[in-house]
Amino acid sequence: MKRITATGQSVEEAVESALSQLNTTRDRVEIEIADQGKKGFFGIFGSRQAVVNVTLPPDPVEEGIRFLKNVSEKMGVGAEVAVKRNGRNISFQLSGDKIALLIGKRGQTLNSLQYLTQLVANRYSKQYLTVEVDAEDYRQRRNDTLVQLAERMANKAMKTGKEVALEPMPSNERKVIHNALMGKRKIKTESSGAEPYRHLVIKPIK
């Protein structure tokens, strides 16, 4: 958080000075008028400059980047962080050596990083942000794997006539499998269990 005090012949001039020093825009700052100022006689005698205190709150995206870099360094990974923003959707892309350490087994570490980064970013945001953390396109590769798994398990359920329970997965991965099988009329998918052991069950329709 940055906070400066600026002065000017008017409140507006003082605010513009502060925005210039902070290199930001009015919609991102909080403005407190400490002194309205006074013009004085003939604009000279008894005049007093306006004084404003302008605060620039932490940026949620910058805080997310700082958090990810800090955690990466503590894990011994010198990760680079690239950001893509689309409205309230923020995507942090990680790259670098030893990136597998940030992914973890079946993406468990990456999912934890995503959850924590979302908490950090929303702590500093006035509107709710949806955060995704990816590492060298792991999530796309994982999605492709899940779609293949869905096909195999669906075929197994139809062939045996018995339901097939998959391993526990986060909600976004369960959704990938559910969407992949939506077009199959001979099976249906249901979520079962409580987090963090909630899993998908593929059931044949008899």
Three-state helix/strand/coil letters over the chain? CEEEEEEECCHHHHHHHHHHHHCCCHHHCEEEEEECCECCECCCECCECEEEEEEECCCHHHHHHHHHHHHHHHCCCCCEEEEEEECCEEEEEEECCCCHHHHCHHHHHHHHHHHHHHHHHHHCCCCCCEEEEEECCHHHHHHHHHHHHHHHHHHHHHHHCCCEECCCCCHHHHHHHHHHCCCCCCEEEEEECCCCCCEEEEEECC
- By residue count, the chain amounts to 206
pLDDT means per 10 residues, the chain with 206 residues, are 86 90 88 84 68 92 95 91 94 93 91 94 92 94 94 94 91 91 90 88 90
68: domain CATH number? 3.30.300.20
**Looking at 109, 136, 163, which one is the last position of a domain?**
136
Residue 191 sits at φ, ψ, to 5 deg, of -90, 145
Q: What is the pLDDT of residue 4?
A: 86
Q: Are residues 37 and 87 in the same domain?
A: no
Cβ neighbours of residue 58 under 8 Å, at least 6 residues apart?
A: 1, 124
Q: What is the pLDDT of residue 106?
A: 84
**Looking at 56, 73, 100, which one is the last position of a domain?**
56
Q: Are residues 66 and 132 in the same domain?
A: yes
Q: Are residues 47 and 108 in the same domain?
A: no
Q: Are residues 72 and 128 in the same domain?
A: yes
Q: What is the pLDDT of residue 29?
A: 87
40: domain CATH number? 3.30.1660
Cβ neighbours of residue 16 under 8 Å, at least 6 residues apart?
A: 8
* pTM for this entry: 0.72
- Domain span at residue 84 reads 60-136
Three-state helix/strand/coil letters over 133-188? EEECCHHHHHHHHHHHHHHHHHHHHHHHCCCEECCCCCHHHHHHHHHHCCCCCCEE
183: domain CATH number? 3.30.1370.50
Q: Are residues 68 and 131 in the same domain?
A: yes
**Beta strands 50-56 and 80-86, pairing class:** unpaired
Q: What is the pLDDT of residue 43?
A: 55
Number of structural domains found in the chain: 3
Q: What is the pLDDT of residue 40?
A: 62
Q: Are residues 75 and 92 in the same domain?
A: yes
**Looking at 99, 116, 136, which one is the last position of a domain?**
136
Cβ neighbours of residue 14 under 8 Å, at least 6 residues apart?
A: 6, 7, 8, 37, 49, 50, 51, 52
Token pair, residue 25, equals: 């825009």
